[in-house]
Amino acid sequence: MSETLRLLPDAAGIARAAEIVQAGGLVAMPTETVYGLAADATSPGAVARIYAAKGRPRINPLIVHLPGIGAARPLARLSPAAEALAAAFWPGPLTLVLPLVPGHGLAPAVTAGLPTVALRVPAHPVARALIEAAGRPLAAPSANPSGLVSPTTADHVLEGLSGRIEAVIDAGSCPVGIESTILALTDGGARLLRPGGISPETIREKTGIEVLPPDGETIAAPGMLRSHYAPQARLRLDVTAPSSGAVHVGFGPEHPGELTLSAEGDLAEAARNLFAVLRAADRLAAARGAEITVAPIPRRGIGLAINDRLARAAAPREASGG
């Protein structure tokens, strides 16, 4: 295919992006979490192209992006807990895995043949405008080659997928910076499949719902393999005394580094910076033949999601997807 277009996030850019999606093409769109690679979720051909562009294993299902809760009801069964979670957090960085209903109309590959579907209503105005203009549900995984670091800028998207997708809408950096929290609402409770932009503490405070921990026995979200977000360099975590030569990523005033996730020790800022800092650290480490070390990050609030992504980035490599 030809060169990937960089579109402005204005009315003309969104109209062009909607035409591309309606014709079965691929457009990377900004969301509040990370850039997503969007395509028509009702078109088998368009969905097949997402898997091909990312090199994503076909067992790893996609999140369907919707304009609001009204668009969720024809696709999935919302339990009272699901209704409460959607009312509290949509639009926003929460994905709900729910039982599919008959006649949903989604391409089977979206759910990788599972009886459930992951639904999300993004908060970013550009994502919302594209979903509205396209007039259909959009399947959108993070807009990176499978297994690599998620993109939080249009430049990151192009580094990985230039020439493999029709367009990217460039709206600058993503304000949350880390992917959505995924909850499965299929077995009575709300089980955490992936920590993300909304913490279990916040979910409890706003809805009274107690989030169950991931069940360690199965990989419940098929994409959550241990190695992921993988930089080229070796990465070590919870390092308080960096060795000379290493590219050290700091956090907070007590643990400065050559790079830092947040000089002030602010977890929201650290989440926003995480993927861009990992990319920068990887470039420095490659130039120097060094390893990357990262200071300890508290495991509260969005720090849970930051530690999850760092642990996957540090894990030994294996086949991966997402």
Tokens of 229: 């977000």
Of Mg ion, ligand TXA, none, which one sits near residue 180, judging by CB under 5 to 8 A according to partner kind?
ligand TXA
Q: Is 223 in the site for ligand TXA (CB under 6 A)?
A: yes
Tokens 């460039």 correspond to 170
Q: Is 142 in the site for Mg ion (CB under 5 A)?
A: yes
Q: Is 301 in the site for ligand TXA (CB under 6 A)?
A: no
Of ligand TXA, Mg ion, none, which one sits near residue 307, judging by CB under 5 to 8 A according to partner kind?
none
Q: At closest approach, how far in Å is the CB of 293 from ligand TXA? A: 26
- Per CB under 6 A, the segment of 140-148, 248-256, 267-275, 288-296 that binds ligand TXA is 140-148
Q: Is 175 in the site for ligand TXA (CB under 6 A)?
A: no
CA distances from 310 to 175, 218, 227 (A): 19, 21, 10
Residue closest to ligand TXA, measured at CB: 223
Among 25, 75, 131, 142, binds ligand TXA (CB under 6 A): 142
Of ligand TXA, Mg ion, none, which one sits near residue 31, judging by CB under 5 to 8 A according to partner kind?
ligand TXA
Q: Give residues in contact with Mg ion (CB under 5 A).
A: 142, 322
Residues that bind ligand TXA (CB under 6 A): 31, 33-34, 36, 60-63, 93, 95, 97, 111, 114, 116-118, 120, 140-142, 179-180, 182, 193, 221-224, 322
